[in-house]
Chain A
Amino acid sequence: MHKKSLAMAALLMAGIGVQAYADPFDKTDLDRWAAEQEVVVHQGRALFTDGGLGKNGVVCAQCHPNAANTHPETYPKFQKQFGKVAQLWEMVNWCIKNPLEGTPLAADDPKMTALLSYIISERRGVKLDPGKH
C-alpha cells in the first residue's frame, strides 16, 4: 500500500480524521431511519385495511389477516397464471384489480412502497426462499 494511504488509514483509525470518508452514522441516524421506516409500514397497514384502495370497499386484510399467505420471501417467482417470473408488486396489483376491482399502482408509487413495506414487515425473520411454492 502507498505510504500516504497508510498514514491516512492510521489517522482514521485513531479517530482524528477531519473528513468523513466512510459515511459514519450514529444512534441518532439509526433511530431516525427506523422511524421513517415505521411511518411507511404504518401507511402500508392503513392502506391494507382501507376500503378506498380499490373500488368496491373490499380490503386486502379481508383475505390476508396480518398479510398472511402473501409469502414475500419467495419472490420473484414463476406464476403460472402470468406465465412468467413475477415480482410481488405485480401480485399486489393483481389483487387490486380483481378482488378489489380497482386501478393498479405504478411499481414505484409511494402507496405500493407502503404496501410492500407492511407485507414484508409482517414476514420479518423468515428466511429468503426465492421461487418457493
Chain B
Amino acid sequence: MKPIDPSRMTRRSFLETGLKAGGAAIAAGTLPLSLVELAFADPAQSFTFAYISDAHIQQIKGTEFVRNWDRGLIRAVAECNLMDPKPDFVMFGGDLAQLGKPEELDHGAEILSALRIKPRMVMGEHDYYLDLGKYWSKLFGPHSYSFDHKGVHFVTLNSILTTDEWTHHRWPTPERRMAEMADLDNPNGSPFMVGAEQREWLKQDLANISRDTPLVVFSHSPLQKIYKGWNFWTDDAEEVQALLAPFRQVNVIYGHVHQIQYNQIGTISFNAVMATAWPWPYPQSYAQAESYLPKLTVPMNRADSFFERDATGWQFIDIHSGRVAAHYLLPENGTRNVAFSENLGHPTDLAYQADSSRIPPQTHY
C-alpha cells in the first residue's frame, strides 16, 4: 500500500485506499471502535469487521449507570451502525461491565442490542470474576471459540483466567473477589493466564489449519508481557505464542490496556484497541516500577482530562496481506497510522516512528 498522509486521512479516503490496495485488510474506526477490513486480490473476497472494546458499564444503583461510560459505548454502537461498507461482523473486546453484575451486563447488552449486527464477544476480567462468567455465558455463549471467514481463521480466547487457588479459595465472597480483581493496581490481584486446558483446546483447534492461512487471535489481555503490576500481562504468553508461531501471518488483537500499543514477536503482530470508557497511563509513567512497553510503540498523546472522550479514540485496522495496520482516529489529536512494514518486518507508525518525528504530547512521564 502507498504511504498515506495521515493529516489528510478520512475514514472514507482510507477505505478507498485500502480497497484499491488489493490483498489488504482494512480496519477503520471513527469512534471508540475499530473497523477491520480484510481485502484480497479478488475484491469479492474483501470484508470488514468492526471492533468495540472496554465499555466498563458501571451501575450506580437501580437503573442508574455512570453516564460517561454509557456515552462511550452508545456512541461506538451508533457509529458502527453507520459504517459503509457495512462490516461483516462486530467484535466486542471484553470488559462490558465494571463489576460483573447482571445489571451491568444486561445494560451493556441492551446498548449493544442496537447494533444491526450481533456482536461476537471476548471475555474481560470485569465480566468474569463475580460469578466466573456464568451470567455472561447465558447472554453471550462460550468463552473461547473459533470461526472461519473468507479465508481467515479467527480464534477468541479467554485470557483473563488465573490460578485455582486465587479464584476459588482466597476470597470470602464473589463480590470481594471481583473487587480485588477490578482495581488495576491492586497488589492483591493475580496474573492473567490462558491456562493449560484452553491451550490444549487451541492446539487442537489449529491442528488442521494450513500454516499459510492468515490467523487473527482475539484476547482481552495482551498475549505478551508488558507490565505485571497492572496486569498488562498474560502469564503463559510464551506458551500461547509457541502455538501461534508456526503460522506465517498471525495477528493478535487485544483490549484491556485502553491505549495504543503494538509489537512484533516472530511472525506474530500485536495490536491493542482503544477503550470506549477511559484511557490508561502507560506503565512507564508510574515512577516506582519498570515496564516492558514494546520499544516499537510510539505512545498516543497524553489524555486531556478536561475532555471526557479524549484518548478513547477509535481505529481502522487494515490487514494487508494478512498483516494488521491500525489507523487510530483520536478526538482533538492527529490521526495515527500504524502499518505492518514488509521491509522492517514489524508494525511501524507512518508518521511518528523515528525518535526525531515525535511530538511533545507523546512523552509520557
Residues of A within 8 A of B (CB): 49, 56-59, 61-66, 68-69, 71, 81, 91, 94-95, 98-99, 101, 122-126, 133
Contact = CB atoms under 8 A, between A and B. Distances in A.
Contacts of A59: 183
- The A interface, classified by DSSP as helix, strand, loop or mixed, is loop
A94 B229 CA distance: 27
A64 B287 contact: no
Given A94-B305, A95-B305, A133-B360, A63 B66 contact: no
Count class of interface residues, chain B: 20 to 34
Contacts of A71: 365
Interface of B: 56, 58-60, 66-68, 183-186, 229-230, 278-281, 283, 285-289, 302-303, 305-306, 308, 360, 364-365
Contacts of B58: 56-58
Nearest to B64: A56
A68 B68 contact: no
Interface centre among A61, A62, A133 (most CB of B within 10 A): A62
B185 A61 contact: yes
A98 B304 CA distance: 13
Given A95-B305, A99-B68, A133-B360, A66 B288 contact: yes
- Which 5 interchain pairs have the tightest Cβ spacing? A65-B185, A69-B281, A68-B281, A81-B306, A65-B184
A69 B285 contact: yes
A69 B302 contact: yes
Given A122-B287, A123-B287, A66 B305 contact: no
Nearest to B68: A99
A133 B301 CA distance: 12
Contacts of A64: 281
A98 B66 CA distance: 11
Contacts of A58: 58, 66, 68
Given A56-B66, A58-B58, A65 B287 contact: no
A124 B287 contact: yes
Given A61-B184, A63-B305, A99-B308, 18 more contacts: A49-B183, A57-B58, A57-B59, A57-B66, A58-B66, A58-B68, A62-B184, A63-B278, A65-B184, A66-B289, A68-B285, A69-B285, A91-B305, A95-B305, A98-B308, A99-B68, A101-B67, A124-B287
Contacts of A61: 183-185
27 contacts: A49-B186, A56-B66, A56-B67, A58-B66, A59-B183, A61-B183, A61-B184, A61-B185, A63-B280, A64-B281, A65-B184, A65-B185, A65-B230, A66-B185, A66-B286, A66-B288, A66-B289, A68-B281, A68-B283, A68-B285, A91-B305, A99-B68, A99-B308, A122-B288, A123-B287, A125-B288, A133-B360
A7 B58 CA distance: 72
A68 B303 CA distance: 12
A77 to B, nearest CB: 14
A123 B287 CA distance: 6
Nearest to A65: B185
Interface centre among B58, B185, B186 (most CB of A within 10 A): B185
A118 to B, nearest CB: 12
A101 B185 CA distance: 23
Contacts of B184: 61-62, 65
A63 B185 CA distance: 11
A98 B294 CA distance: 33
A67 to B, nearest CB: 8
A98 B60 CA distance: 15
B281 A57 contact: no
Nearest to B258: A63
A76 to B, nearest CB: 17
Contacts of A57: 58-60, 66
Contacts of A99: 68, 278, 308
Nearest to A49: B183
A57 B67 CA distance: 11
Contacts of B60: 56-57
Contact of A66 (B66, B229, B360): B229
